[in-house]
Amino acid sequence: MKIGVLALQGAVTEHIRSVTLAGAEGVAIKRIEELNDIEGLIIPGGESTTIGKLMRKYGFIEAIREFSAAGKPIFGTCAGLIVLATTIEGQEEAHLELMDITVARNAFGRQRESFETDLKIEGIDEKVRAVFIRAPLIREVGSQVEVLSTYQDEIVTARQGNLLVSSFHPELTDDYRLHQYFVEMVREKQAS
């Protein structure tokens, strides 16, 4: 099973490593035609405005919408979460507009306010190590969105059908269980 990591910006190598540890093959995706070769896609962190501009420049907006419409799972971490949201606070235009969530960019503060914590995530037995770096928050969720974890009463992990998002960077730790959760989502889709 191949899972792609959108390689426009962010911790691409780290996500590929985590996908490999989770039992799938991770590949970097740099061109839209490469989406045809994968079963799931990870949109990594970075800077959401830059990722959005690059996605538009290289034709990824429509291509990823079609990928999602085919039911293929997508996992957005940090900026990837913002890119998947239908609404971004303080911005008129969103990017992919696939997941029924409203997000606040940099809600946890600046780079120096970055932190790590252990989070209980629905569907994963033990707490997961989470690294928050200029992390966004999910302010509101639609009726189809399942909240998987919160931190200080704020939503930081959620799922809507074939879409999974986290405010934090699971790829920056040795704990690959959230990637394993995503790999299982891809397996379930393949089996259906």
Looking up tokens 């992990």, which residue turns up? 157
Q: Is 174 exposed, middle or buried (0-12, 13-18, 19+ CB in 10 A)?
A: exposed
Q: What pLDDT, on a 0 to 100 scale, did the predictor assign at position 108?
A: 65
pLDDT single digits (tens) 79-133? 999 999 999 999 889 999 999 999 998 766 665 568 999 999 999 999 999 999 8
**DSSP state, residue 37:** G
Confidence category of residue 192, pLDDT binned at 50, 70, 90: confident
Cα–Cα distance for residue pair 103/85, rounded to 1 Å: 7
- CA nearest to 188, candidates 1, 33, 9, 57: 1
Q: What pLDDT, on a 0 to 100 scale, did the predictor assign at position 114?
A: 82
Where in the sequence numbering do the catalytic residues fall?
A: 78, 169, 171
Q: What pLDDT, on a 0 to 100 scale, did the predictor assign at position 111?
A: 58
Instruction: Give the domains, in start order, of the chain with CATH numbers.
Output: 2-191 (3.40.50.880)
Q: Residue 73, SS3?
A: coil
